[in-house]
Amino acid sequence: MSSVIKVDNLSKIYRLGLISRRTIAEDLNKFWSRITGKENPYLKIGETNVRSVKGKSDYIWALKDISFEVKDGERFGIIGKNGAGKSTLLKILSRVASPTEGKIRIKGRVASLLEVGTGFHPELTGRNNIFLNGSILGMTQKEIKSKFDSIVDFSGVERYIDTPVKRYSSGMYVRLAFAVAAHLEPEILIVDEVLAVGDAEFQKKCLGKMHDVSEKEGRTVLFVSHNLQAIKNLCQKTIILNNGELFASGETEEALKRYNQLNREIKITAETHVNNIKNRRGSGAIRFTGIDVLDDTGNKRFEYELGETVRFKISYRTFKEMQGITLIVALLSGLSRECLTLACYDIVKSKVEPGVTGEAVIEFNDINIKPGEYPLYFELIDNKLNSYSKDVVDDITAPLVIKRNDYAEKKSFDPSKPSGFFETPSRLTLNEIFRESDRIRA
Amino acid sequence: MSKNYSDSDWTLEIKPVSGWFNFHIKDVWRYRDLLLMFVKRDFVAVYKQTILGPFWFFIQPILTTITFTIVFGKIAKIPTEGLPPMLFYMSGVVCWNYFSDCLTKTSSTFISNAHIFGKVYFPRLVSPLANITSLLMKFGIQMLLLTCFIFYFIANDADVHPNIYILITPYLILLMAGLGLGFGIIVSSLTTKYRDLTFLVGFGVQLLMYATPVIYPVSALPDEYKSLVKLNPMTSIIETFRFSFLGAGSFDASNLLYTTVFVIFVLSIGIVIFNRVEKTFMDTV
Ligand SMILES: Nc1ncnc2c1ncn2[C@@H]1O[C@H](COP(=O)(O)OP(=O)(O)O)[C@@H](O)[C@H]1O
Ligand SMILES: [Mg+2]
């Protein structure tokens, strides 16, 4: 198999100094003060204008010396924490952004889905938006026409196809948008974390479609996701980005193992702004400043056997007044990432001022969750009734891994019986079934 | 699918931005369907707008014309080359509107499309090209209005003489579109650096109208201003337009040639700058 994408020593630098657009007035002012020999009025205190001193903080290496190859027909995963550079990499591959150094060579037509529904116009009908979005993604009118029925079919919104999309529910909107993208026929399909939206069933359908696109039609798929399960199911090869650098690459199994190692180092700070971390949500009235997963001897670890003790130690800091603080610890399960609450405690019951820091430990003894891998979910909310969440983080640590052992046998029940979320002893007793029709006959 | 690529078959090479002259004009042609879709979108969007919507296209030039007729015709008594003032002003206003719409609309290309540009690649030039094409709809409606007025005045024996030079109108439209596009994409490239530029341009365009024979004929100017106003590339366009539709003034091919050269010049500079900025723009938003 030959390579269809070859990335050589790719680097991308964002210059923070250039980000803020100026006004002409500011520049004229600067110019004027230079002529009159006054101090630059826009220079911040403690900051100098000397280029060499300007230094590190002004530059971000979003990508640093990345090299890899993607083979024809491969399903290729890209994972990494927030800010690792995944989107930047995909943007460069899609020609939305330009690299600073290095080069990329590509064979064949590329279609990228960095977002679903780019360019959808709310006033246009579903039908018109299919054509608009399709052309934005690079399809010709003829192509779209020939695939129109199939697109509508896949989206499942045929009843509303002549209704303006502003009337669509967000689910319908996403379905229609993905349907268009799914019918692109590029040699290479690039998909960023777009499946985070949409319901579980639809996500499954999308993943299935991506699988088909690769398996049946021999296309190459590059796929970024937070959902490790999806990566595991879909991708043959995976690379891990960490702080803009290539941390590991190889078979997905291997790469995921390395990723879990990487995640053992947990570093989040209260200062990290909400907007910088995409999967940190909430109003910001309170922030997690640390999250640790410990065993009963206080060692950090993420793999546990059934029956062991797990402690979640969290610390926080408040930024606004809170009526009280509630902590929720939950596991995310399966492809659809259902949220399974493990514990919900009022950790502080009275009013808290801004600037307070605190710590809480929740301990679970005799853990009996069904063996598997569970991404962790932490949430802090205000005790006030109907409060919005104040800080939510998930995937910030490695997933909790529960391993099978003889726990079940010790509790003397059959471990092969399916028993939902918990590995709790259970026994099935069936009562006789009565049918309505039976009663009529009797 | 059979894809037997050999190692030299790379179809696309992505490299750091370098140089000012790496164009992909061919790409623009490949995306002509997208241009049509953008135009269609603009049509529907206008149509679905407020109650006024397309109605506004009629009202605006009529009100402007009436205002000009009163202020400049009746009060300031600026001559109109013997034409009915209504027609004189309206012809100027219709042309000026198209040019200034093209300029102001395309000058916000990067700002108003930042969202799409950040997510999909297509030759960015498609957006401003779609803008000037969509604006033809408004121009067309206003031309229709103007034509009605011309017929009305002719029916009432006014001294109005449309002539064969009308055939040159498509070329005039092309020049106006080119001029608006050229200036517009230069400004839009600069707005990625200076965010207050858009407002300045809006204001500048308003002032520029007074340096263009919209409310006065060149013939009414003192000689020392004549050559100055003729430096304005819009001058020959509006003068020629009036001459062909209303039969007043004169046709001066050399002035039109000057405008043509000017338009080509501005467009070339615009495309070079735009082409450069479109590659680095996403880093700055
Ligand atoms: N336009 C930009 N200007 C400045 N910094 C940026 C820009 N886009 C991304 N970055 C920075 O580059 C880094 C990588 O971002 P990104 O590729 O979005 O990460 P990921 O998708 O892996 O979460 C982050 O530190 C981010 O803040
Ligand atoms: Mg991202």
Q: What single string gives the DSSP state of each residue in A178-189?
A: HHHHHT---SEE
Closest Cβ–Cβ partner in B10, B44, B282 for A123: B44
Q: How confident is the model at residue B10 (pLDDT cuts 50, 70, 90)?
A: confident
pLDDT at A282: 73
Chain B residues touching A163 at Cβ < 8 A = none
Each residue of B118-161: pLDDT tens digit? 889 999 999 999 999 999 999 999 999 999 999 999 999 888 99
Tracing tokens 């499954």 back to the chain, one arrives at A204
What's the mean per-residue pLDDT of chain B?
89
Domain ranges of chain B: 55-283
Distance from A147 to chain B by nearest Cα, in Å? 16
A318 membership: H or E segment, kind and range: strand A310-318
Q: Per-residue pLDDT averaged across B228-249, rounded? A: 93
Opening angle at CA A433, ends A431 and A437, nearest 5: 160
Phi then psi for residue A84, to 5 deg, are -70, -20
pLDDT band of A106, cuts 50, 70, 90? very high
Contact A112/B279, CB-based, under 8 Å? no
Q: Is the pLDDT of residue A25 over 90?
A: no
Q: Is the model's pLDDT at B34 over the cut of 80?
A: yes
Evaluate if residue A44 carries a pLDDT over 80: no
- Band of residue A335 on the pLDDT scale cut at 50, 70, 90: low
Instruction: Mark yes or no for CB contact B5/A72 under 8 Å.
Output: yes
> Per-residue pLDDT tens for B259-285?
999 999 999 999 999 988 888 887 765
Distance A266 CA to ligand 1 centre (A): 20
pLDDT-derived band at A439 (thresholds 50, 70, 90) equals low
What is the rounded average pLDDT for all residues in chain A? 80
Element (H, E) at A132: helix A126-136
pLDDT of residue B148: 95
User: How large a percentage of chain A has pLDDT more than 90?
Assistant: 23
HSE-up of residue A386 (Cα within 13 Å, Cβ side): 0
**pLDDT (average), residues A18-32:** 65
- Looking at chain A, which residue has its C-alpha nearest residue B17? A98
Choose from B5, B120, B195 for mutation: most chain A CBs within 10 A: B120
10 Å CB burial of residue B275 (0-12, 13-18, 19+) is: buried
Tokens of B260: 């043509």
Across A146-159, average pLDDT = 92
Q: pLDDT tens for residues A175-224? A: 898 889 888 888 899 988 876 666 677 778 888 888 888 888 889 999 99
Residues with CB under 6 A from ligand 1: A 14, 19, 60, 62, 80, 82-88, 278; B 283
Taking contacts as CB-CB distances below 8 angstroms, the residues of chain A near B31 are 135, 138
Distance, CA of B78 to chain centre = 26
- Asked if B30 contacts A114 with a C-beta cutoff of 8 angstroms, the reply is no
Length of chain B: 285
Task: Dump pLDDT digits (tens) for A280-325.
Answer: 677 778 888 888 888 888 888 888 888 889 999 888 888 888 888 8
Percent pLDDT > 90 in chain B is: 57
What are the backbone dihedrals phi and psi of residue A7, each rounded to the nearest 5 degrees, phi first?
A: -110, 125
pLDDT higher than 70, residue A5: yes
pTM for the whole thing? 0.74
> Pseudo-torsion of CA B254, B255, B260, B266, nearest 10°?
140
pLDDT band at A387 (very low <50, low <70, confident <90, very high): low
Q: Do the strands A75-80 and A237-242 form a parallel or antiparallel pair, or are they unpaired? A: parallel
Q: What is the pLDDT of residues A336-365, one digit of tens each?
A: 677 888 888 888 888 888 888 888 999 988
Say what percent of chain A tops pLDDT 70: 77
**Mutation probe of ligand 1 site: the residue of A11, A21, A60 with most atoms within 8 A of C-beta:** A60
Supply the DSSP symbol for A43: P
Residue type, A318: T
Q: What is the DSSP letter of B3?
A: -
Q: B134, B55, B44: which is closest to A164 by C-alpha?
A: B44
- Across A229-239, average pLDDT: 90
Closest CA to A193 of A227, A159, A168, A169: A227
CB atoms A218 and B193 under 8 Å: no
Average pLDDT over every residue of A38-44: 57
H-state helical runs in chain B: 25-30, 32-48, 55-68, 85-106, 109-117, 126-155, 169-191, 197-208, 223-230, 233-246, 253-280
Confidence of residue A409 (pLDDT cuts 50, 70, 90): low
Whether residues A25 and B5 touch (CB distance < 8 A) is answered with no
Q: Is B74 exposed, middle or buried (0-12, 13-18, 19+ CB in 10 A)?
A: exposed
Higher pLDDT, B99 or A383: B99
% of chain B surpassing 70 pLDDT: 94
- Chain A nearest-CA distance from B106, in A, is 18
Min Cα distance B6 → chain A (Å) is 7
Q: Which chain B residues are within 8 Å of A27, Cβ to Cβ?
A: 194
Would the CB atoms of A25 and B48 count as touching at under 8 Å?
no
The confidence score (pLDDT) of residue B2 equals: 44
- Does pLDDT of A37 surpass 80? no
Q: What is the pLDDT of residue A198?
A: 62
> Highest-confidence range of A143-147, A259-263, B57-61, B188-192, by mean pLDDT?
A143-147
**Model confidence at A267: pLDDT above 80:** no
